[in-house]
Structures are given as C-alpha cells and as structure tokens.
Amino acid sequence: MTDITDSNTTDNSPADGSNTRSATVVDDRSDPTTDTITSTATAETPITAATNTTASTSPARTTHASLWRNPQYRAWFTADTASAVGLAMKGFAISLVAFSLTKSLPTAGWLATASMIAAQTADVFGGTLVDRHNRKRLIILNAICGAVLWGAVFALLASGLLTFPVFAVVIVAASTINGLLGSATNAMLRSIIPTADYPKAQSLNQGRDSVIALAGSPLGGVLYAFGMWVPFAVASIMYAIAGISAGMLRVDEHVRDMIGRNGERNAANDTSAVARGSFVDDFVEGWRWTLRRRTLMTLTTIAALLNFGVNGIFQSVQLQLVGSGVDSVRIGFVSTAVGAGMLIGAVIAARVCDRLAVGTGLVVMSVAALATLAPMIVSDAYPVMLVSSLLCGLPVPTINTLLMGFIFAKVPTKMQGRVNSSSNLMCLLPTMFCSAIAGSLLPTIGFRMTVALFLLALAANVAIVLAMPAVRSIPAADRWNEAEL
C-alpha cells in the first residue's frame, strides 16, 4: 500500500505517481505527506502461509541489530535512499517548472494528475510483473530509466530547449515506468529481512524519509534558485547511484519459485520451480486474493481518504504559494516543516511501533491528522501553513509503520507485488485528482474553501475508523498472528 507521505513503495512525487513505500496516506515525494499508508507502496493473507514462508526464506537474523549487519539490507537501504533523494529533488521542481512554462495553475495541477493516472494505471499491471520476474533487475532498470529521463530534462532546461509538451511527455513516461517497476524495491525487502524486523525497518525508513523531507525541499529550492535544471541533474545522479547500489544486492529470489499457490513450500521438490500460470492468471489471482480480505478493503478505504485529504491540502498549499509568487526557498520550507514533524514522529514510532495496537494507533492518528490541518480553514497565512505542516507530520510515521507492518506480515512473499499494486490503486485512486482539483478550485473558490473540501475527507475517515470494530481491534505486532486480513 502507499504511504501518507512517501514512501517508496513507491515513487511519491507527482511525476512518478508513486507509491509505494508505506501504507502512507500520500504517494508523492514532492510532498512528504504522501507516503504514509501504501505505498507502496508505495506501502506491502493467509496467516499461516505468509508467516511460515517468511521465516524459512529470509536470510537476515531476527534481532533488530542484525539489520545494519546484513550487507544485503545495507545495499537495499542505500538504493532506496538514493532514489528517495532523487525524488525529493525533482519532485519539488516539477510544479515550478510547469508553472514557469505555462503561467497556468490549472495546467500545472492537471500535469500532476496526468502523471498519477499514468503511474497508477501502470502499477495495476506492475505488481504482477514484479511477482513474475527478477526484482533486482527491475530495480536496476527503473533506476536507469530515471537517470536517463531526468538527465534529458536537465540537458533541455540547461540549453533552453525545453517546451511544456516535451516536459509533459517526460513526466508521464517517467510515471508510467515507475508504476510498472517501482514496487520491486519494497517487494524485495521481504526476501531480505524477516517479518519480525519489519516494524524496525519501517521506522528507520520513516526517519530517513523525514530527514530527506527536512533537507530535501529547501535544498531543492536553493538549487532551483541557481538554475531550473540543477534539481533534475541531481535527481539523475541519485538514480544512477540507486542502480549501482541495487547491483550490489545478492539475494536468492528463487525461493519464490519454490512456493506453491497456497503459499506453502513445494514439499515434493524444494529445488524445482512450481509451474507458473499465465500473466492474466496471476493478475486475476492477485486481485481475487485482495478483494476477498475484508479488513484489507477497510484499510484501503481509510488510506484512500487520508491520502486524498492530506495530499489535497498540501497540493493546495503548494499551488497557492506558487500562484502568489512566493519564492522557491519559502515554498520549500513548507515541506521542511512536514519533514521536521515526521522526524519527531519517526522517533516516537520507533519507540511505540512494537507494542502499540494498530487499531488504537489508527484512531488517535486519524483524529490528529484532522485536527492539525483544520487551522488552515480559517487562515491562509504563511506561518499557519508552516505550523500545521509541522504538526501534521507527527502522526504520519506511526500510521505508516503500523499499517504497512501489519499488511506486510499478512501477505505471502509471492503475493507482495500484486497485493501492493491492487491496494495502491484503491488507496490512490481519489488522490490522482488532488492536484487537478486544487488547481481548478483555487482560482474560483479560494484557498480556505478548497482546504475545507479536503478536510471533509479526513472527517469521513475519522467516522469510519470509529465505526469499524474490525479496524479498532487490530492488535499490536506480537499478536498479529491472531488477526485476520
């Protein structure tokens, strides 16, 4: 599933659609608040199959300290971090470049919407692709495409040859490729660490994302001030580093071929691959599996409302500031405020994620998300935007860690890509139109009324969480084996 703010799962920036790193409520790297519930991816079942498979195939030890001692995790973390930095650099500049080329807020907003539609449409099939092919190769291919495409934008901007149609084509192409291949990173993590270490790994990812959000947008604003092409040059370099780091991974992915369709190992011959069905069969199997999990369906609804509300408000803030002529550095500080809140929130998440019940955390954090953004309905002053952004970042890491950890633990290894893509689509379907809605409404009804619309989605989410016993009763990590997805 997708993060409220980044995740990875995924490519959270409007240009990549993303996804996918957390069950984040937002799948957009340009806005750190988009990677919370996914995705992922992005923010990631049958209880017995998922648990047994992980325990027997994961090469890492079960202690949290083993994460940094595991060279495969270090290589994975480096690749993931490099791509996250690249996303932050180019994600910040996309709206500014689009507006500078067209002088139109609706056009800039619809470009972000078009990129998300392309990404999510591709991601529908990307999950099946990731489950059928070598994930390491897909990660490297995605990094190569990112380096080439954003390098081309850098070259065209530096030479003064970039036009809006060309820019739009590159954005949509990058989003489509990321939708097809981006979920491979999170899906591969299940082959690197055991389920017991995932809450710790997710809290580390949230802290890392918070630091990037804290420094990334101001740095992007400074780089943009030096030249519109500079953030894209840095993004291209970061994708190249991600590809090199992914090339250092040495993970045996053949374990997926030894797992039957019921999620159990092939007892007859552990060394022989189970015959695969067609692409269509695997695609349908992933959707059928996802749609039959009632709790998962409820969680995706919650994520969809959170993503739509939080992302919509932050898209409104960004476009409002761009349209008002605010300089790029001050615009970047809004994301810095979110990052500061997420950094504090990541510290809290690391302390409570192992023992806080998922249901309790969802209730508290959903109310907090609504309360922290409500002040913007009465004031559009820049200090109010900064304070609300800071406070809104606090609950994001905990929501991501709890939801993504629970879903990750309940989904079998062989199904990670398909469940991630199907749940991402449902989580992010309304969010695809946040930029277009914000860009269209701001010139007509103003900032406060636009924010009020997105706050209604957050209020609806609070009502659903309070009204659903199945969600409120999801236990802490040590009792996930007793819960059903």
Q: What is the pLDDT of residues 408-420, one digit of tens each?
A: 778 887 787 788 7
Is residue 367 in some structural domain?
Answer: yes
More confident residue, 1 or 166: 166
Number of domains the chain contains = 1
Its pTM stands at 0.60
**CA–CA dist 1, 11 (Å, integer):** 12
Is residue 260 in some structural domain?
Answer: no
Residue 399: pLDDT band (50, 70, 90) is: confident
Is residue 429 in some structural domain?
Answer: yes
pLDDT of residue 16 exceeding 90, the answer is no
Phi, psi (deg, nearest 5) at residue 134: -65, 115
Is residue 280 in some structural domain?
Answer: no
CA distance readout (Å), 6 to 205, 342, 371: 10, 11, 21
Q: What is the pLDDT of residue 471?
A: 87
Q: Does residue 41 have a cis bond before it (omega within 30 degrees)?
A: yes
**CA–CA dist 19, 186 (Å, integer):** 10
What single-letter amino acid sits at 429? L
Helix (H) or strand (E) holding 119: helix 105-132
CA distance readout (Å), 441 to 92, 315, 335, 455: 21, 12, 22, 15
The CATH code of the domain that includes 194 is 1.20.1250.20
- In order, the DSSP letters of 176-224 are HHHHHHTTHHHHHHTTTS-GGGHHHHHHHHHHHHHHHHHHHHHHHHHHH
Is residue 426 in some structural domain?
Answer: yes
Q: What is the mean pLDDT of the chain?
A: 76
265 - beta bridge partners? Answer: 259
Helix (H) or strand (E) holding 382: helix 382-393
More confident residue, 318 or 23: 318
Q: Lowest-pLDDT range, 38-42, 64-68, 92-96?
A: 38-42
**CA–CA dist 23, 18 (Å, integer):** 12
Phi, psi (deg, nearest 5) at residue 5: -130, -25
pLDDT of residue 180 exceeding 70, the answer is yes
Residue 331: pLDDT band (50, 70, 90) is: confident
**Model confidence pLDDT, tens digit, residues 206-232:** 678 767 766 766 677 777 778 888 888
Cα-to-chain-centroid distance, residue 78: 17
Per DSSP, the three-state class of 293 is coil
Residue 50: pLDDT band (50, 70, 90) is: very low
What the block records as the tokens of 222 is 């400074």
Q: What is the pLDDT of residue 477?
A: 80
Residue 259: pLDDT band (50, 70, 90) is: very low
Is residue 65 in some structural domain?
Answer: yes
* Residue 353: Cβ within 10 Å count: 25
Is residue 202 in some structural domain?
Answer: yes
Q: What is the Rg, in whole angstroms, of the alpha carbon atoms belonging to the chain?
A: 20
Residue 453: pLDDT band (50, 70, 90) is: very high
Question: Could you tell me if 123 and 426 are in contact, meaning their C-beta atoms sit under 8 angstroms apart?
Answer: no
Q: Which domain holds residue 158?
A: 4-254+292-482
DSSP secondary structure letter of residue 37: B
**Model confidence pLDDT, tens digit, residues 226-257:** 888 888 898 899 999 999 998 888 766 554 44
Region 129-150: what's the mean pLDDT? 88
Cα-to-chain-centroid distance, residue 164: 27
Is residue 121 in some structural domain?
Answer: yes
Residue 8: pLDDT band (50, 70, 90) is: very low
Question: Could you tell me if 5 and 25 are in contact, meaning their C-beta atoms sit under 8 angstroms apart?
Answer: yes
Phi-psi region of 446 (alpha: psi -120 to 50; beta: other; left: phi over 0): left
